[in-house]
Structure 1
Amino acid sequence: MASLICGAALSFVDISAADLLAKAGLTPQRVVELVQEAFAWALPNMLLGSMIIVPLWCVAYMLRPPRG
Structure 2
Amino acid sequence: MGRVLAAVVKIVIASLMAGAVLSALNISAAEILSEIGLTPEAVFAMLRTGAEWAIPNLVLGSLVIVPIWLVTMLLRPPRN
Please indicate the TM-score interval, normalised by the length of the shorter structure: over 0.9
* Deviation by residue 1:7-62 (Cα, 9 ceiling, x = unmatched): 11111111000000001111111111000000000001101110110010111011
- Amino acid across the alignment from 1:28: P
Structure 1 stretches of at least 4 aligned residues deviating more than 4 Å after TM superposition: none
The sequence identity of aligned pairs, in percent, is 50
Higher helix share: 2
Structure 2, unaligned stretches of length 5 or more?
A: 1-12
Aligned to 2:60: 48
Equivalenced residue count is: 68
Higher relative contact order (CA 8 A, sep 6+): 1
TM-score of the superposition, structure 1-length normalised?
0.93
1:25 aligns with 2:37: yes
